Amino acid sequence: MNFPGLDSSAAASGARPAAMPEVGQLTQTLRAYLKPEDIAPVEEAFRFSKAAHQGQYRKSGEPYIFHPLAVTTILAEWHLDPQALMAALLHDVVEDTPTTKAEIGEKFGKPVAELVDGVSKLDKIEFKTEAHAQAENFRKMLLAMARDVRVILIKLADRLHNMRTLGAMHPDKRKRIARETLEIYAPIANRLGLNSVYQELDDLSFRYLYPNRYRVLATAVKTARGNRREVVGKVLEAIKQRLQEAGIEATVTGREKHLYSIYKKMQGKSLTFSEVFDIYGFRVIVKDVPSCYLALGALHSLYKPIPGKIKDYIAIPKANGYQSLHSTLFGPFGTAIEVQIRTADMHKIAEAGVASHWIYKSSETSLNDVQQKTHQWLQSLLEIQSESGDSVEFLEHIKVDLFPDDVYVFTPKGKIMALPRGATAVDLAYAVHTDVGNHGVAVKINHELMPLRTELRNGDQVEIITAAHAKPNPAWLNYVVTGKARSHIRHFLKTMHFEESAALGERLLNQALRALKSSPEQIDDAHWEKFLRDSGVKSRQEALADIGLGKRLGIVVARQLLALGEQVSVERKQLGSITIRGSEGMAVQFAKCCRPIPGDPIMGFIKKDQGLVVHTYGCPSAAQFRADPDKWLDVEWDPETKKLFDVDVKIVVAHQRGVLAKVAAEIAGAGSNIDKITMEEEEGSAYTTLFFTLQVENRMHLASVMRNLRKIPEVVRISRVKG
């Protein structure tokens, strides 16, 4: 195989000549696993890409074609198929040259064109901000990746080569790219099990984000390498000898931890470099799984294991398919050493992850465990995408999921579920199924009832208890950690808000129709179709929700539906009042400044995007809206509200032992709940001020509670707080 014309291009251009070992390396790698007839289209893609990028140079001064060639060489080392290799050679053609996706599809086939499109950025679309553009690019790439994992493999190889050559960029751009790599690309490589790529991206990002720290740490590691060489050699020989004595065939190697992992350990545990002893690890590769456990036993008889530092990722693999036994031992001279024990197959997966199973094979090859786990994760991306409001929200959810840690819990049937560290029972509920999450009411952890916000620990057995009537609580968003849980909760709340707003909007529209001497029955489908066509609204429900959310005025929509002109005026008294039941959900909000309760004279304000906000009639905060008759409307309480309402009460009590218990007992005795309590106490004063947020049915109920409290001898003064 030969890539014609490459060797003369740099010299002919007058640009700085660049080394060209990639060509021979790529040729050799492709011949090792591809048939000659499969190499031919790759050669053709190279010729096409070289012609398209003719006259273009990288910041380093070398011809642009060197970049796609280097990316393709990385992918060839992972043994990717010809389609992926062609897409890698062409991955910047659509973005940086006049060539279109259609041209690539016509010449190299639709699958190659789709791969190129998935990798290309969205530069031709204008976005509000750079953050929005970046988020939309990731969204497009991740969704293309969900359809075909080769998209992200090409993108990771692209980013890896860009990071290797980042030195030619402006310092500000270097930092931006390095941060993006550390936050997104390195975690994706880790999530897909591409361990060597993950570590190299981490170290390169660290180098450009914190150049001084990187330099100091690299120097310290280099010095330590010399100082600790004797220790490493001694440990290596001791491990080999002990395994040989135990009759275990094994390959043993010493390895240095990568710089960024040492830096994270120093940061996370507030250690100095001299306190980090396990910068060296040892890897033992054996023939089969039983030998892994035999080797672990042999090494534990050589050096004492540190309690709590043994991890069995063979019995319970990581989410990305990684398997090994990990044990941290007390080595010679009091140094801690980490040992990883695995089989050759496990080592292959540990180094290359999902790419290790992308070797060019027939399409009948069945999915293995690693591919199935990757497929499940990619499908969850599609779920999150369908429920995210925009690309920035989508990226926020994904970032959360890109930092998985080692928390493994068991369902009642013994199924192992992997979750990020810090995950709660709510996260697990959504991981099991959306319906389980939406209807979860409680959880049993190790057979004990616990709150849903309980953080899960390794080995917990967890049973989620559901109820048909239950629904997600907005407060869950404060403590869930997985993107899937967060997106499902937000989606449910948005849907519920929309439905409740539409119901309120319908009531407001019916009120306006009656004021115009009409009725809802007179508005048929033809009226609605004309209104939707003229106003550009997609559906009747959307128009009603707009009214409920204050985006449209009910009286204006009523006029449009009845084809009446603006000259037809309506007095406020003709509109009548809206009845407040207390069960409207998020579409009706009760102002926290005055906390209205049934029995209070009230008025409502239509606040854009929030719907109807109810205030007491004399609330100072509502005064600013009174001058605008379009913003407020008459509301009245339903005689039979079936809800408890929050009300603030201030109680001044004599500072005596047990007074708080007496107050709480009287409140409970009067059939009220305490939602919140705070105290104020002046130093040296004989009195304490208690502030309660109570839940009551109406003003009569509140009066009953206050009467009971006045009977307590220690209560000096009691009043309702408004504003």
Which of 227, 221, 222 lies closest to 265, judged by CA?
Answer: 221
**Cα gap 703→714, rounded to integer Å:** 19
The Cβ of residue 343 has, within 10 Å, a number of other Cβ atoms equal to 18
Neighbour-count burial for 370-409, b at 16+ CB within 10 Å, e otherwise: bbebbeebbebbebbbebbeebbbbbebbebbbebeebbb
Neighbour-count burial for 134-162, b at 16+ CB within 10 Å, e otherwise: bbbbbbbbbbbbbebbbbbbbbbbbbbbb
Cα–Cα distances in angstroms (integers) from residue 707 to residues 264, 597, 684, 700, 712, in the given order: 60, 18, 29, 11, 10
DSSP conformation letters of 342-391: EEHHHHHHHHHGGGGG-SS--TTPPP-HHHHHHHHHHHHHHHHHHH-SSH
**Cα gap 608→622, rounded to integer Å:** 15
Q: How large is the C-alpha radius of gyration of the chain?
A: 34
**Cα gap 157→145, rounded to integer Å:** 14
List the Cα angle 683/687/691 in 5-degree steps.
Answer: 100
H/E segment holding residue 487 = helix 483-515
Q: Active-site residue 95, yes or no?
A: yes
**Cα gap 34→84, rounded to integer Å:** 13
240 with 284: CB under 8 angstroms? no
**Cα gap 708→646, rounded to integer Å:** 18
DSSP bridge partners of 604: 614, 633
**Residue 682: partners with Cβ closer than 8 Å, 6 or more residues away:** none
Chain Cα centroid distance, residue 251: 39
Q: Give me the catalytic one of 38, 95, 396, 646.
A: 95
Query: In 3-state terms, what secondary structure has residue 16?
Result: coil
- Two tokens, residue 355: 């790419």
Q: Active-site residue 96, yes or no?
A: yes
Q: Give me the catalytic one of 38, 43, 77, 96.
A: 96
Is 528 buried (19+), middle (13-18) or exposed (0-12) by CB count in 10 A? Answer: middle
Count Cα atoms within 13 angstroms, Cβ side, for 594: 19
DSSP conformation letters of 553-572: -HHHHHHHHTT--TT----H
* Helix 540-548 × helix 483-515 angle, to 10°: 90
Chain Cα centroid distance, residue 119: 21
658: left (phi over 0), alpha (psi -120 to 50) or beta: left
**Cα gap 351→194, rounded to integer Å:** 6
Side chain identity at 175, as an amino acid letter?
K
22: left (phi over 0), alpha (psi -120 to 50) or beta: alpha
Q: Alpha helix (H) ranges present in 441-482?
A: none
In the sheet that holds 611-616, the strands lie side by side as 578-580, 632-637, 602-607, 611-616, 588-590
- Two tokens, residue 343: 């089989």
DSSP bridge partners of 312: 325
Which of 187, 159, 153 lies closest to 78, judged by CA?
Answer: 153
**Cα gap 464→452, rounded to integer Å:** 9
Residue positions annotated with a catalytic role: 95-96
